[in-house]
A and B are shown apart, each in its own frame.
Chain A
Amino acid sequence: MTYTYPHQTPFNIGEIFKFSRLTVIWLSIIFGAVWAACFLVGVAIPFWIDNGFIVNGSLNLFTKFNEAPSDASLIWSNTFRALTPIVAVAVFIPINAMFMVLCERRALALFTVRKGPNRVGPDGLLQTAADAVKLLFKEDITPRGADILMFTLAPIIFFAPSIIGMVPLLAAVTNNHQLFSIVNIPTGIFYVIAVSAIPVVGIVMGGWASNNKYSLVGGLRSAAQAISYEIPLVLSIITVCLISGTLDVVSIAERQAGGILHWNIFAGGALPQAGAHLGAALDNLKNMSTDVTEPTRQAAWAAVNQAWGGMVAAFAFIGCMFLLFGIYATCACAEINRIPFDLPEAESELVSGYNTEYSGIKFAIFFLAEFTNLFVVSSIATVLFLGGGSSPIQGFMDAQWWNWLASVNNWTMPTVPFINSETFFGAFWVVVKVYSLVIFAILVRGTLPRFRIDQLMDFGWKRLIPLSLFLLLAVTFLRELV
């Protein structure tokens, strides 16, 4: 009689390895699919049209190269080019959400000494694909007494904002490169906030239209929660815009280039700046020749002291930004109804909350939207606080590094649009950062119980809003002191 307990500890190297393998494979699938779609729509099809391979929608094999494209064909090819960002988002979102579901289930299994789904496909790779197919073929039930129009519209209104909200972020992720600069708008972050406020309408609609008391309570809770937590969320974003001096997501991301200390969570370069001031003041003092007058020396000392004050302010600034990031993370969790703020769908109280009555494809859309929302808020956090697509160490795994490698090895740089090194490494770092935040959200989900609705309101109105207001004020002064 021998007993073995293979999963006694959460630190199970074998499972962690399997999880990492799964992640790498899935991310390659996502990137491959998105890149292929973009290349097809943004490069290949316009090329065919411009060179006369495709004329009036039909194939023409007897084309002459090197002939200037006609006006009509230019209109069509430019239309396809303009469609590239939309195609990118449309391909990315479903595949990404499918992976996030699997990632969440496997990561939770890791945290909770289980194995997670590992039967469909190699090592559970296709689990969510199978789930999606299952949901597609399920009967789409509309409950008796439901408001059919609202009931059908709710998942769409819930899902659509997460797609259109992602579009300006795409420009920031791809460093505004090539055709992706089409989607950049000067007031990007304002647009993102405005759009991210819409899904709650979908939840309330779904809750009300379901003709179910649990759904109704869930929908109303969601409205209350979204209103309370949007204020500190927006205040934290405003503070970041304040130190960046712009609402443009691309500029906010670009401003944080140059290593981890230049990220907004480290006060956007306040520390290196204060350090430079201090270094200059100290150098000035050190290099002073012995025969200077006493007042000059005193002035130099005063400069050093002032620089020290700047250092202290920089550290205080960084503390404030960390708190702001915490506030943003908390409110974002509440915005997208994740544990510990998943009150609208609290299973032990409201069965499944606002989506109790949904089944089949409509439920799948709700599900898809929840995970996409998680991705969107993580991307916003990445662009606003974690430096967007910039590498944490300047000169490592970024365009600069690539150019250095190319010069050392005497490589020829590939000139294909969409695979420019800046875009590639930008996307790489964004995905690393976003998925780190996603894994953190999963870890939180695997740890914390749920708040009660009145405690949630107290926490939002009595703690988070005053704190975020105070931080806005503090940052306003601190950025002048550094």
Chain B
Amino acid sequence: MASELITLKTTGLKTDEMIINMGPQHPATHGVLRLLLTLDGEFVKHVEPVIGHLHRAQEWQGQNRTWFQYQALIDRVDYLSGMFTSWAMARSAEHIEDIKVPLRAEYYRVMVSEMNRITSHLLWLGTYLIDLGAMFGFPFYPFREREKLLDLFEAIAGQRMMFNYIRIGGVQHEAPDGWFAKLKQFTEDFPDRVDEYEAIVTENPIFLKRTKGVGRLKKSVAMDYGVTGPSLRASGVNYDLRKFKPYSVYDRLQFEVPVMEGDGDTWARYMCRIAEMRQSNEIIKQCMAQIPGGTADELREKRKACNSCGKEDCANCGGDLKLSGKKQMAGMRIKAGEGFAAVESPRGVLGCYIISNGSDKPARFRWRNPSFSNLSVLPELLVGSPIADIMAVFGSIDVILPDVDR
């Protein structure tokens, strides 16, 4: 379509290509991505993502801080899904030292991570609508629900975004009183809220026009580039670590991974994330029903009998009901060895590779970030599309820039 617009041979007029730097200071690039665009009229001829503006040497920092110190920094790697980054690192370290994580802590991990997946997808939904030009109205509604979950995070971890909750060997805190009740209330309300979003967005003709058939990501291309997460599943590849390499307690939970049939356009990616939010909500419900020891309130009642002794052989404090399989302290060490562990984060497979030499610092640290490989597929999707679709497509693959640049 672009070529029709280029040269008007009959009049002898010539048009030129225009090179535009979209970003890093652009209101819609979700942080500091720079896209080097070659435009032909309104159409993209070439696009080159320039990354590194947010490079903070996260891996180097990991090698120069103790295990205990670095735990607090990990949430910043992907600031919208701090639970998952913490979890990936914790699992990797646990893999090196063969730490057995108590069952109650595993349930807590799954619960808070799925809550985090919902908050991440909700934020994506709001900002994606802003990318499509719904600047003021709808984007605030997902934030209303996200606010409730953030309050729950604040109650359990002390922080709203940088949780530092999942630690090597377990989790940090028991939930406060009333937390489970609030979460239960939320899980009951949430499907209705998602219905509300769907009513206003999914059926919207302008939204359909902007997303259907836009930014098609073929199955084979997605697999070539190592795209993971909802973006991959929207292209029809049934790949989710929670199902295919069930870690933690995911093998005890009943859930379906939403996989979209067809083109893998931005609409499919939207639908996939909406379905995942519903699915995560179901997982949280199951976790609350299955968690050993019951809710925090009940467990506290029971522990009054043994006065919260904390002994290993106590029926109310030890065994599955502990919160951590490793003692948390500033100088804690992980024995020598190497380990890789990955979790299914809201953006895809988030991996962490660590070599430990037995000291209090990791010897080598490496992240495998989903946003990086997801971003690399962007030029494939954008060439030939108009300027207006750049943000519609870029927003739909849900990239977090600190996650790309580390």
A residues near B, CB below 8 A?
A: 1-3, 5, 7-8, 108, 111-114, 213-214, 217, 339-340, 342-343, 346-351, 445-455
In this complex, what residue of A is CB-closest to B390? A349
Q: Is A112 in contact with B206, judged by CB distance below 8 angstroms?
A: no
Q: Is B42 in contact with A453, judged by CB distance below 8 angstroms?
A: yes
Q: Is B151 in contact with A3, judged by CB distance below 8 angstroms?
A: yes
Closest Cβ–Cβ distance, residue B181 to chain A (whole Å): 10
Chain B residues positioned under 8 Å from A112 (CB to CB): 136-141
> Do A346 and B388 contact each other (CB < 8 Å), given the known contacts A1-B155, A1-B177?
yes
Assembly CA distance A112 to B141 (angstroms): 7
Q: Is A445 in contact with B388, judged by CB distance below 8 angstroms?
A: no
Q: Does B28 contact A (CB under 8 A)?
A: yes
Instruction: Known pairs A1-B178, A342-B133, A346-B388; list 4 more (Cβ under 8 Å).
Output: A347-B133, A348-B131, A449-B129, A449-B134
Q: Is A449 in contact with B155, judged by CB distance below 8 angstroms?
A: no
Main secondary structure on A side of the interface with B = loop
Chain B residues positioned under 8 Å from A5 (CB to CB): 144, 147-148
> Do A111 and B137 contact each other (CB < 8 Å), given the known contacts A449-B204, A451-B206?
yes
Closest Cβ–Cβ distance, residue B13 to chain A (whole Å): 15
Q: Does B55 contact A (CB under 8 A)?
A: no
Q: Does B73 contact A (CB under 8 A)?
A: no
Q: Does B20 contact A (CB under 8 A)?
A: yes
Assembly CA distance A213 to B16 (angstroms): 13
In this complex, what residue of A is CB-closest to B18? A213
Assembly CA distance A445 to B137 (angstroms): 7
Assembly CA distance A450 to B136 (angstroms): 12
Chain B residues positioned under 8 Å from A449 (CB to CB): 129, 132-134, 204, 206-207, 210
Closest Cβ–Cβ distance, residue B371 to chain A (whole Å): 19
Q: Is B140 in contact with A114, judged by CB distance below 8 angstroms?
A: yes
In the complex, chain B residues 376-402 whose Cβ is within 8 Å of any chain A Cβ? 386-391
Assembly CA distance A351 to B389 (angstroms): 14
Assembly CA distance A12 to B356 (angstroms): 56
Chain A residues positioned under 8 Å from B206 (CB to CB): 340, 448-451
Q: Is B386 in contact with A213, judged by CB distance below 8 angstroms?
A: no
In this complex, what residue of A is CB-closest to B385? A452
> Do A351 and B204 contact each other (CB < 8 Å), given the known contacts A3-B151, A111-B137, A453-B386?
no
Q: Does B12 contact A (CB under 8 A)?
A: no
Assembly CA distance A350 to B200 (angstroms): 26
Most buried by A among B20, B133, B210: B133
Closest Cβ–Cβ distance, residue A271 to chain B (whole Å): 31
Most buried by A among B138, B140, B209: B140
Contact of B179 among A1, A214, A450 (CB under 8 A): A1
Q: Is B178 in contact with A446, judged by CB distance below 8 angstroms?
A: no
In this complex, what residue of B is CB-closest to A447? B137
Q: Is B42 in contact with A447, judged by CB distance below 8 angstroms?
A: no
Q: Is A351 in contact with B210, judged by CB distance below 8 angstroms?
A: no
Q: Is A348 in contact with B144, judged by CB distance below 8 angstroms?
A: no
Q: Does B309 contact A (CB under 8 A)?
A: no
Assembly CA distance A339 to B136 (angstroms): 10
Contact of A113 among B134, B141, B200 (CB under 8 A): B141
28 contacts between A and B (CB under 8 A): A1-B176, A1-B178, A2-B178, A5-B144, A7-B144, A108-B136, A111-B137, A112-B138, A217-B387, A340-B133, A340-B206, A347-B133, A348-B130, A348-B131, A349-B28, A446-B136, A446-B137, A446-B138, A447-B134, A448-B137, A448-B204, A449-B133, A449-B134, A450-B388, A451-B133, A451-B206, A452-B389, A453-B386
Chain B residues positioned under 8 Å from A452 (CB to CB): 209-210, 386, 388-389
Q: Is A348 in contact with B27, judged by CB distance below 8 angstroms?
A: yes
Closest Cβ–Cβ distance, residue B250 to chain A (whole Å): 29
Q: Is A3 in contact with B133, judged by CB distance below 8 angstroms?
A: no
Chain B residues positioned under 8 Å from A1 (CB to CB): 155, 176-179
Assembly CA distance A3 to B207 (angstroms): 35
| 7 nearest A-B pairs in the assembled complex, by CB-CB distance | A450-B133, A446-B137, A348-B28, A112-B140, A449-B132, A449-B134, A452-B388
> Do A455 and B209 contact each other (CB < 8 Å), given the known contacts A351-B27, A450-B134?
yes
Assembly CA distance A343 to B132 (angstroms): 11
In the complex, chain B residues 163-213 whose Cβ is within 8 Å of any chain A Cβ? 176-179, 182, 200, 204, 206-207, 209-210
Chain A residues positioned under 8 Å from B141 (CB to CB): 112-113
Q: Is B386 in contact with A447, judged by CB distance below 8 angstroms?
A: no
In this complex, what residue of B is CB-closest to A340? B206
Closest Cβ–Cβ distance, residue B157 to chain A (whole Å): 14
In the complex, chain B residues 121-163 whose Cβ is within 8 Å of any chain A Cβ? 129-141, 144, 147-148, 151, 155
Contact of A3 among B27, B182, B386 (CB under 8 A): B182
Chain B residues positioned under 8 Å from A447 (CB to CB): 134, 137-138, 200
Assembly CA distance A334 to B156 (angstroms): 49
In this complex, what residue of A is CB-closest to B144? A113
In the complex, chain B residues 204-259 whose Cβ is within 8 Å of any chain A Cβ? 204, 206-207, 209-210
